[in-house]
Structure 1
Amino acid sequence: MKNIGFLSFGHWSPDRGSQVKSASDVLHQSIDLAVAAEQIGVDGAYFRVHHFAQQLASPFPLLAAIGARTSKIEIGTGVIDMRYENPLYMVEDAGAADLISNGRLQLGISRGSPEQVIDGWRYFGYQPGEDETQADMARRHAEVFLQQLDGKGFAQPNPRPMFPNPPGLLRLEPHSPGLRDRIWWGAATNATAEWAAEMGMNLQSSTLKADETGEPFHVQQAQQIRMYRDAWEKAGHDRKPRVSVSRSIFALINDEDRRYFGRGGKDSDQVGAIEQTRHIFGRSYADEPDKLIDQLREDEAIAEADTLLLTIPNMLGVDYNVHVLESILTHVAPALNWR
């Protein structure tokens, strides 16, 4: 059995053929899609976060709005780039959104991916410390965020406050109990997956990974998951971790599906360089349901994960994306014992 969610990159474009013409469109359609996804039995609504781009960027207003319109579906990110974040302000935003949703927030955070501008985090007022890389800075921000989510007091109260204070040091408010256990780290390497386990975060692994062995993507990703779980056990945490992988999977059910994806998915992995490091990009899947089922049975990483995030073509509109998700739930998931 797997949790099955969708992952939206939240694109918008005024170009012909796009059903999402503006930032307003993508925000409202993201809410509508989460509502509809909950109704057909999807377990999670997740959103990418990219700055300086015509994509979703500020996740907490959107997550809070979805939380107010839904009652069951998990609401999350994949991922928030911690190079850009004030971790204390983020604790307040995350706590509020989680309380609005009654504890359904699943926040994916990470070092982030290459951005639209050079060192975009500098425009947000952040820079690495001496002898610190931008990845180090992201992990430092993440560690502060995790520490403050515990809800322990740390700030010295004013002896003459505007409002009465509780005794002792003050914490950030609003505090949402349990949110600390629902933070995920997006890991592109085996080492950062192990670090995430040590820090007590769940693991998000996408369709992109550092090519560390030269093996097929799904084999490397499965190994990463096993290394993460081993590190989790060694760390001695008192709960079971969660692991998600994301995939582009399209079942060709009707002529519209065939028109959009009838040429099939990428039959093999792709290899390329990101910031002078060799990375491997996992294949996508698009085929008739019976063939799709056979192909997905061979994906070792999907088998290892407890959560599968289906990347969706959000610019094709809410109705079509509901169809995409429902096709997987109906024609693919049962045969693979995901449901």
Structure 2
Amino acid sequence: MKKIGFLSFGHWNPSPQSQARSAADVLLQSIDLAVAAEELGADGAYFRVHHFARQLASPFPLLAAVGSRTKRIEIGTGVIDMRYENPLYMAEDAGAADIISGGRLQLGISRGSPEQVIEGYRHFGYQPAEGESDADMGRRHAEVFYDVLRGEGFAKPNPRPMFPNPPGLIRLEPHSEGLRDRIWWGSGSNSTAVWAAKLGMNLQSSTLKDNETGEPFHVQQAKQIRIFREAWTEAGHTRTPRVSVSRSIFALMNDMDRAYFAGSGESKDAIGFIDAQTQAIFGRSYAAEPDKLIEQLKADEAIAEADTLLLTVPNQLGVEYNVHVIESILKHVAPALGWR
């Protein structure tokens, strides 16, 4: 059975047409949507992280709040930009949020995406070392974060501490056992998928990746997943890795659905540039009546390869409508594809 969750970019806009007009709206509605998604039987509630934007940013207060209001659903990110992160402080935040949720965090991290401002990570106090790119810095931060999640001591204790220390070197607290196995790398290329596999991180692949072969997006993404799994096996890891892909998928069930999304399901893959050097391919959206949608999705090779599907939701249309979007896929599409 394929796990199915939602991925919210957490936009807000003061426009009267938006149901999410402020940061408060987005944060509180995100919690409500996660609660409703759990009641529907969805498997995951995931949230995007963007800085310097009217979108969700610091994820851990939200993840902890969702964890306190839910019992079963996985709670994750897609993805945290590691160029902006203090990996040790992040390990403490992640450990606390995971404990609050009862061990349900699934943290997607990455080197980051194009920014709202120029080199925004510098405003957070981080800059690449000499000879290092910002992407290298993000991966370095990720490696430190991933390593300290082992829960092993590394800091020399003060001989005159305020409180008694356990023997030996000191680790970060709170430590959440098992969280390290639930870290995912958001990969936009085949090479970084291999890098993540060697480290032992799960794989998140989004609706865009480097255009490495000129083939359709879903074909390139399926190859990326297979390359990741091959590298995982070669690295000798003993557990089975998880792989997620995200898609914009809308079942047209009523006139409102058709007003919002009719026509977008006829979209094609698009080619563009995410920076001056990197050509990317952007995957198509799906929007159709359920029977047609089922046939379209059967042909998506990457969805077939992945064990987890994240449905991107239009959060500015409000909680009630997004519950309808998720429910339509779970009830009218997923069973016919063998996902439920």
> Which interval holds the TM-score relative to the shorter structure?
over 0.9
Rounded Cα–Cα distance in structure 2 between residues aligned with 1:40 and 1:214: 39
Q: Percent identity?
A: 77
Residues 1:319 and 2:315 are matched in the alignment: no
1:3-53 deviation line (CA, Å, top 9, x unaligned): 000000000011021000100000000000000000000000000000000
TM-superposed CA distance for 1:266, in Å, is 4.5
Measured in 1, the distance between the counterparts of 2:160 and 2:318 equals 54
Residues in 2 aligned to 1:47 and 1:265: alpha-carbon distance in whole angstroms? 23
Which amino acid in structure 2 is aligned with residue 107 of structure 1? L
1:178-220 deviations in whole A, cap 9, x for unaligned?
A: 0000000000000000000001000000000000000000000
Amino acid corresponding to residue 31 of structure 1 in structure 2: I
Matches within 5 A, 1:91-110: 91-110=91-110
Question: Could you tell me how far apart the structure 1 residues matched to 2:144 and 2:262 are?
Answer: 47
Q: How does 1:2-13 map to 2 (within 5 A)?
A: 2-13=2-13
Note the 1:85-234 alignment, pairs <5 A: 85-234=85-234
3-state SS of the aligned residue for 2:264?
coil
- Secondary structure, counterpart of 1:78 in structure 2: strand
- For 2:37, the equivalent position in structure 1 comes to 37
**Separation of aligned partners in 1, 2:145 and 2:49:** 17
Once the two structures are TM-superposed, the CA of residue 264 in structure 1 deviates from its matched residue by 3.2
Aligned pair count reads 339
Partner Cα separation in structure 2 for residue 6 and residue 158 of structure 1: 45
Distance 2:70 2:134 in 1: 36
- How far residue 263 of structure 1 moved from its aligned partner, in angstroms, is 2.1
The gaps in structure 1 that reach 5 residues or longer are: none
**In the alignment, which residue of structure 1 is the partner of 2:261?**
261
User: Within 5 Å, which residues of 2 pair with 1:48-67?
Assistant: 48-67=48-67
Gaps of 5+ in 2: none
Which whole-Å CA distance do the structure 2 matches of 1:214 and 1:294 have between them? 24
The one-letter amino acid paired with 1:302 is I
SS in 1 for 2:140: helix
CA positional deviation for 1:274: 1.4
1:23 aligned partner = 23
Secondary structure of 1:168's match?
Answer: coil
Code of the aligned partner of 2:313: I
Amino acid at match of 1:198: K
What are the superposed Cα offsets for residues 138-187 of structure 1, whole Å, 9 maximum, x if unpaired?
01000000110000001111111111111111000000000000000000
Match of 2:308 in 1: 307
- Do the aligned partners of residues 266 and 131 (structure 1) sit closer, same or farther apart at CA in structure 2, a change above 3 Å counting? farther
| Equivalent residue, structure 2, for 1:337 | 338
Which digits, 9 at most, give the CA deviation of each residue in 1:194-248, with x for residues without a partner? 0000010000000000000000000000000000000000000010000000000
Question: What is the correspondence of 1:236-275 to structure 2 with a 5 Å cutoff?
Answer: 236-275=236-275
Please give the root-mean-square deviation of Cα atoms over the aligned residues, in Å.
0.6
Q: Matched residues in 2 for 1:84 and 1:274: separation?
A: 19
CA distance in 2, matches of 1:40, 1:297: 23
Q: CA deviation at 1:323?
A: 0.3
Alignment TM-score, normalising by the size of structure 2: 0.99
1-structure distance, mates of 2:15, 2:209: 31
Deviation at 1:262, TM superposition (A): 1.6
CA distance in structure 2 between the partners assigned to 1:273 and 1:51 by the alignment: 21
Shift of residue 267 of structure 1? 2.7
Q: Following the alignment from structure 1 to structure 2, what is the Cα–Cα distance between the partners of residues 211 and 264?
A: 22
Q: 1:172 is paired with a residue of what secondary structure?
A: coil
- CA spacing shift, 1:334–1:26, aligned 2, 3 Å: same
Aligned-partner Cα distance in 1 for 2:263–2:136: 42
Aligned mates of 1:139, 1:278 — CA distance in 2 = 21
